Amino acid sequence: MASRVAWSCIRLQSSSATRFTRSVRVKYTVRYMAGHSQWANRKHQKDRIDFQRSKKWAQMTKKIRAAIKTGGPDLDSNSRLKAAVQDAKKEGVPKANIEKALRSFESSTASDPHILEATGPGGANLLIVTNIDSSRPVNCLEVIEVRRQINRRGGQVGEPGSVAWNFEKKGVVVLNREDIENTELDPEEMAIESNADDVEIEGNECLFYCEQSLLDQVSLYFKEKNLEPTDENIRYVPQTLSEIDNSEMEKLEKLLQNLSEVEDVDSVFTNVKHMQ
């Protein structure tokens, strides 16, 4: 309950034979209940939902652009792009948004994006892959803005080669561990048969690493065995892992979350254990 103080003027009259009147200022307090607008509440709730949805759509179109950059704009020959478009449709991304993302690269060919190298909390190595074509100069406004966001959000941008030496570009096919266990097939044997270089089990996932050029071939191997990958893409895999304490880990998690919200950042890779 809220209140406010107000002043009012009343007139007093005497009851004696000699009548007179005088004005007296009276102080009083007005109390009122705070009102609640159902329409306003619904509007705020709708705004939050719309914001989350638009954010999700932006992430999906970002994946489409990244897939085109690594494999070209042809859906038939670029399995990663095809999967990104299918995922976008599942998430309800409007057809116009998908077509716009595809049209913006109609005449483009596969090219490498700008990659920024940085150090994060606890000395973590960070590779930040952008959506900015590498043909653009390093001092273009888009690259400058991404660098500013990295420094502003807890990272420190380094020189080219400062952390890239610790990462190797690999194709990665991710499968559900339970799906593989249900086939009673050995993951290491599957890695050999599919031409993958290595396999790693992390929690409920099995990650099969391969050369970039063999990504589609390795993925097809599992699909022919009725094993649908939960993810298949190109990643920068750290060669040497590091560990940091809990307080620094919290800062790093916040930094990675913040960077994922920067429009021109496609993906971020780190060498910190349990966070690749």
* pLDDT one-digit tens code per residue, 192-240: 999 999 999 888 899 999 998 898 899 999 999 999 888 888 899 999 9
- In the predicted structure, residue 61 carries a pLDDT above the cut 90: no
Cα 249 from Cα 246, distance rounded (Å): 5
Which run of H or of E encompasses 129?
strand 125-133
Q: What percent of the chain has pLDDT over 70?
A: 76
- For the segment 86-111, the average pLDDT, to the nearest whole number, is 76
Beta bridge partners of 51: none
pLDDT at 276: 63
- Reply yes or no on whether the pLDDT at 27 is more than 60: no
Closest CA to 67 of 138, 131, 146: 131
Task: Find residue 199's DSSP bridge partners.
Answer: 208
Find tokens 């000395």 and name the residue: 123
Residue 37: predicted pLDDT: 55
pLDDT at 211: 93
Which residues pair with residue 175 across a beta bridge? 206
Mean pLDDT score of the chain: 79
Give every CB contact of residue 254 below 8 A, 6+ residues apart in sequence: 154
Tallying the residues shown for the chain, one arrives at 276
Which pLDDT band holds residue 6 (cuts at 50, 70, 90)?
Answer: very low
Distances, alpha carbon 48 to alpha carbons 42, 51, 159, 250, in Å: 10, 5, 39, 25
Mean pLDDT is lowest, of 12-16, 53-57, 119-123, 272-276, for 12-16
Nearest in space to 102 (alpha carbons), one of 131, 76, 67, 129: 67
Q: Is the pLDDT confidence value at 106 over 80?
A: no
**Cβ proximity of 171 and 183 under 8 Å:** no
- 161 or 49, which is more confident: 161
DSSP category for residue 218 = H
CB 23 within 8 A of CB 10: yes
- pTM assigned to the model: 0.65
Q: Give Cα separations from 18 to 21, 24, 183 (angstroms).
A: 10, 19, 110
Element (H, E) at 229: none
